[in-house]
Structure 1
Amino acid sequence: MEPRETARPWLRALPAVLVVLPALLGPWLARRSVDDSAGKPFTGPDRNAWLGTDRLGRDVFTHMLHGGWGLILLAAVIAVMVTGPSSVLGSVAALRPRAGVLMERSADLAVLLPPVLGVLLVMLSWPESGALGVVTVAVLFGIPYCARVFAAAATGVAATGYVEAARVCGESSSHIVFREMLPNMRELCCAQLGLRFVAGIYVASAAAFLQLPGSLGAANWAIMVRENASGMLLNPWAVLAPSIAIAVVAVGVNLSAAAFGRAARKAHP
């Protein structure tokens, strides 16, 4: 692979890295506690508060540093827990057509019932579940649809000569899935990982925005948008900063995952 092609995925990942890295290290980089007062409510940016203050006079920049790591970590966990099992289930469904039919029916049901509705039902009936409830709902609703995508792609891979040869030689299904099929779906795995991360951001942000019990704590980008919307005309950065951060992380990670997937396919055709 040419150096320019190798560097391109990293360039696409740069916007996401510039937001994700400070968010993950934010609690250690913050100059003050998240609850410390920095001035009057909804004052504009100054030397004391680089992004101004929120509705309680707290530093918006400090809240930005404290409020991102939980959201990003939760979305990353959801992405991995959905993409990993889905890739295996989709490959098995391509090898076993009867399992593929069952997967299609499950995917249809998951699409008809929005994940946010599932989050509401779980969090309101099981308030102490917290982040575990959000992850559980996101995984249960995400796997059927994602596995269906993998099954569609794996059908073509299952019909290739090397897979047929492995089946004739009596190789186990696990060997065929993990050694023959999944390595040839690297690009799809990376693309789905990025899309599932975006879906995880959406579900986690919705749970935090709706202030469901014990979802992600008080210092969170989504909660910042909700709580400071009333003072947007006074200090727009109290709302714009967390909104932009959520958008950049979601879109940046998605584009980065797709770019790394294409790079992996070119490196291992």
Structure 2
Amino acid sequence: MPMIAGTLAGTNAESRPPHRRTWPALIPALALIGLALVGPLLAGHPLDAPVTAPYAGAGDGGPLGGDQLGRDVLSRLLHGGTVLIAGAALVSVLVTLAGVVVGCFAVLHPALGRAVERGADIAILLPPVLGIMLIAMAWPGGGRWAVIGAAIALGAPYAIRIVAAAAAPLANAGYVEAALARGESLRYIAVREILPNLRATIAALFGLRFVEAVYVISMAAFLQIGPRPPAADWALMIRENAPGILLNPWAVLAPSLAIAALAISVNLACASLAPRSVPKAVTTS
């Protein structure tokens, strides 16, 4: 018994991420998200008011210069992250939730598993850009909600396949077979027996879905599917100011770096939250 208790204690200690390793990875993401959320309050100029000459250089009326209409690049940059982060967070939460719910039940219900696998295979074959354009055109009024809906529809099949693949070995584990023998419901087994062992997969999946949502929403904005001028959107800023990149590079570089920093920092934060190791089998010998 002391050996088993010691083994369990060691396993729990290993699976808990150390705080001094976790917090440094969380700080950049939290700082960037916090800055994006309070950015509109920190902007020194109105969102759509010209304050400089078109494509004015950095320091000429603004720390990052002006855009194609003479609007302050820094002010628009501070305004442009809130909606992008909110949209990407909504997409990643819903896609991850769909993947967890459907993926866990699919491995416990063979008929559902086969239907999910075939449906996911068909959905994965659809090119993302074509899927976004089709959904955006079919969506009443189009706009940002059409892009969010397209990102959810295109991301869910990948998430379901990943969770189902990770849960498949667990469905044949001894403790799951014991729960089935006790007559437990599939919902109980999915929530209490399988889901706790997928923490690392879910954390990594959420980070990847957030990064993909940022890129999908940004790509749609760059293609002028979603937000419309004069909205302050980082991807829209890149498209609008690309012709004047040689006159004021910051009008393009600043939103590009903001998108990259957001995607990388959130992905690293989610990776740091995942358990460092999986539970090990306990033996009495």
Do both share a fold (TM > 0.5)?
A: yes
- In structure 2, the partner of 1:243 is 256
1:98, distance to aligned residue in structure 2 (A) = 2.4
Tell me if the contact between 1:207 and 1:215 (Cα under 8 Å) persists in the aligned partners.
no
Partners of 1:103 and 1:216 in 2: CA distance: 39
Correspondence for 1:104:
117
Which residue is 1:151 aligned to? 164
Opposite residue 157 of structure 2, the aligned amino acid is P
Which residue pairs with 2:76 in the alignment? 63
Q: Give the fraction of aligned pairs with identical amino acids, expressed as a percent.
A: 47
- Say whether the 8 Å CA contact 1:75–1:200 is kept in structure 2: yes
Runs of 4+ in 1 over 6 A off after TM superposition: none
| Residue 120 (structure 1) aligned with residue 140 (structure 2) | no
Query: How far has the Cα of 1:56 moved from its partner?
Result: 0.8
Q: Which residue of 2 aligns with 1:95?
A: 108
CA distance in 1, matches of 2:19, 2:35: 25
Unaligned runs of 5+ in 1: none
Partner of 2:51: 38
Partners of 1:215 and 1:108 lie apart in 2 by 33
| Conserved? CA contact 1:40–1:56, under 8 Å | yes
Gaps of 5+ in 2: 1-12, 280-285
Aligned partner (choices 215, 225, 238) of residue 238 of structure 2: 225
Task: Give SS of 2:22's match.
Answer: helix
- CA distance in 1 between counterparts of 2:148 and 2:247 reads 36
Residue 171 of structure 2 corresponds to residue 173 of structure 1: no
Distance verdict in 2 for CA 1:213–1:76, change over 3 Å: closer
Shift of 1:152: 0.7
The residue correspondences of 1:10-21 to structure 2 (distance < 5 A) are 10-21=23-34
TM-aligned CA deviation for residue 13 of structure 1: 2.5
1:140 corresponds in structure 2 to 153
Conservation of the 8 A alpha-carbon contact between 1:208 and 1:223: yes
| CA apart distance, 1:159 | 1.5
Q: How many residues matched?
A: 267
Shift in Å at residue 129 of structure 1?
3.7
